[in-house]
């Protein structure tokens, strides 16, 4: 598999977003899906998928604690591109048991509790959503955080035993903003209010001047803990 990943990255070195999406569709067909967080990056990818591969499955994880603006964006995106975004939910029994045993806002109490909440609301649903895929597309960019500096366009995702494709890995925030503006891509209005990275409502705040991209995510924790588990090897 390592040789295959290296070959993919060599072939896609310097490739455009369109070329990476087209190559991925050719390589994996119906066994490919976009896991969208409804962030700006995923909206750019969705726009390209709608043009290059409109039949591709796009899904998003509804944790039950999302911003209303995120739900509004889902409806707007479906209407603009004439697509259906699959909603994937956590197991209701697991959520009920967790909340009743540890509290409704357990994530503020410890890193362990926060990671448990992320695992139940995100990681487990993600595993189910990927069962019928061989590869999945994400909107990760190196610029987003220190934990993503060494990521490549194509990787082997050890957590899900799938190939992960990061077509925007080398994009800057400036490129992203210009592309969204030039192509009139719908995006979460919270981005205009100081939210560069948007997750669950109780775990996301606007960033302050001078703070990094993900400072508003789990702001009460140290920087090295700021991953939900979806992208950790």
Q: Provide the annotated active-site residues.
A: 228
C-alpha 94/C-alpha 92 separation (Å) is 6
Secondary structure letter of residue 192 according to DSSP: G
Q: Is the CB of residue 176 less than 8 Å from the CB of residue 47?
A: no
Q: Is the CB of residue 154 less than 8 Å from the CB of residue 165?
A: yes
CA atoms within 13 A on the CB side of 73: 23
- Other CB atoms closer than 10 Å to residue 159's CB: what's the count? 15
Tokens of 169: 């890995």
Tokens of 204: 């996301």
C-alpha 177/C-alpha 174 separation (Å) is 5
H/E segment holding residue 204: none
């Amino acid at each position: 598999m390592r040789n295959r990943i290296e070959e993919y990255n060599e072939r896609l070195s310097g490739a455009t977003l369109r070329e990476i999406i087209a190559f991925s569709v050719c390589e994996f067909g119906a066994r490919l899906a976009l896991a969208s967080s409804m962030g700006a990056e995923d909206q750019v990818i969705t726009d390209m998928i709608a043009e290059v591969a409109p039949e591709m499955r796009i899904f998003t994880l509804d944790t039950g604690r999302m911003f209303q603006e995120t739900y509004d964006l889902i409806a707007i995106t479906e209407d603009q591109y004439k697509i259906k975004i699959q909603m994937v939910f956590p197991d209701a029994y697991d959520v009920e048991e967790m909340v009743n045993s540890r509290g409704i806002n357990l994530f503020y109490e410890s890193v362990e509790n926060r990671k448990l909440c992320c695992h139940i609301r995100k990681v487990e649903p993600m595993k189910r959503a990927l069962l019928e895929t061989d590869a999945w597309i994400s909107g990760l960019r190196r610029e987003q955080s220190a934990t993503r500096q060494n990521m490549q366009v194509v990787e082997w995702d050890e957590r899900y035993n799938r190939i992960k494709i990061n077509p925007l890995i080398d994009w800057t925030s400036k490129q992203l903003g210009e592309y969204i503006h030039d192509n009139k891509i719908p995006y979460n209005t919270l981005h205009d209010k100081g939210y560069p990275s948007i997750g669950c409502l109780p775990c996301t705040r606007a960033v302050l001047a001078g703070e990094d991209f993900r400072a508003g995510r789990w702001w009460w924790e140290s920087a090295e803990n700021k991953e939900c588990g979806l992208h950790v090897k």
